[in-house]
Structure 1
Amino acid sequence: MVQQLLAVCAPMLLGAQLILTLILIKGDICPGQRGRIHKVLPTIAVLWLAVASLKIEAMMVVFAIAYFYSKVQTKKTRDQGPMWVLYLANGLALSYVAILVGEQTSLAASLNVVVQIPLLGALFAHLLLTIARTRLQAFHRILPVAGVVSAMLMALVILLKAMSIDEQTLMSAIQPLLVGFALMILGIVVWCWHMLASREINKAQLGFGLAVMLLALTSNQGLFVL
């Protein structure tokens, strides 16, 4: 179970890194927001450290993020810091996930990893941005919508895999598959709840949504090794 959870963390971290990098480069953020975004980077480094228990190559991403963090300020700052290091961290993370995609035993399993990047990455980035008290209100709508689209793609990927296995094997996997579907839908509803109820976004909502989504995708992992 722990290994399956760590396996879905790498695509999640890649997606979150790309979104945060885009915001640091192109986002209309004040010095205070930039410093607060810098402050959440150690969370990504620590999770990559956990992923390194599966593949030691993930340590290179940890070192790159840690070096970038050591060169930037976590208070009010307009200094972007050595962005080439962050680009390097993103490139290393992308290479790691690309290897992960190539190691899969089927097309559906490879697509599963690819779709996890925007699905989990957007949700985790949304949580980190909320913790950083971002004022980029558009992302409170853009990221959940991206999540809904990604969840639809994930459903198609699961259907593709289900069509490729025999009926007897599928029947044995139907219960965890249904549980995974239900949890994924619940995760999306929780993620989008602030839009459905016209309420302000909060960390507890996103944290719960992320936990449910991780549980859903971890539950579905067993289907892709059949």
Structure 2
Amino acid sequence: MPSSTCPRSRPESLAALGFAVVAVDGRGTAGHCKALHDQSYGDLGYAGALADHVTVIRGLGLRYPWLDTGRVGITGHSAGGFATARALLAHPGFYKVGVAVAGNHDNRINLTMWAEHYHGDGDLEELSNPALAANLRGKLLLIHGELDDNALPHQTLRLVDTLIEADADVDMLIVPGVEHALLNRGHYVVRRAWDYFVRHLHGTEPPAYRLAPLPLPAELI
């Protein structure tokens, strides 16, 4: 049952593949009162309230016994990519499979303005996924565009390097010639994400198929 933070993997599509999809609005997310925002300010390592996600999914598993909470996956793009890898590294006994796209995995070397705006100017050490690399137990696919000028590709490469140092198995896909939104290659990334979940959560081999290129939004044409 994937927990999705990625618009590229729509809940309806994942549900059609046979997964139960949960989207959790955890503490600290936008649109709430300041008291809830204070839950995340200064603690971006909280990563979209992953602890709340874990609690909610476990609770749903108790309410609905047909939910298999022993096979939980997660996917996300950009900050959601950071949160996806963080989920497997910070909660290795719970999250089994992750597809992290264009993640800003090490905020110590990310755009300083972004991290300081939401975290303050204190210690950023806790915002580093590579620091937790030795915790990886599940299946993780890291995807990044070669020309990403928002979350630079070295964010993913640094994480992979520390995973190699920790002798942890990881899968990586670098998509040539595309930027943060992976324009004109989104259909390929979607298929790879779907197939990864089918293989490692369902435990079955996906059929041979191809997706048509995704139409570009009118404002980008």
TM norm structure 2: 0.32
The structure in which a higher percent of residues are helix is 1
Bigger radius of gyration: 1
TM norm structure 1: 0.31
Kindly indicate whether structure 1 or structure 2 has the higher relative contact order, using CA contacts under 8 Å at least 6 residues apart.
Answer: 1
The structure in which a higher percent of residues are strand is 2
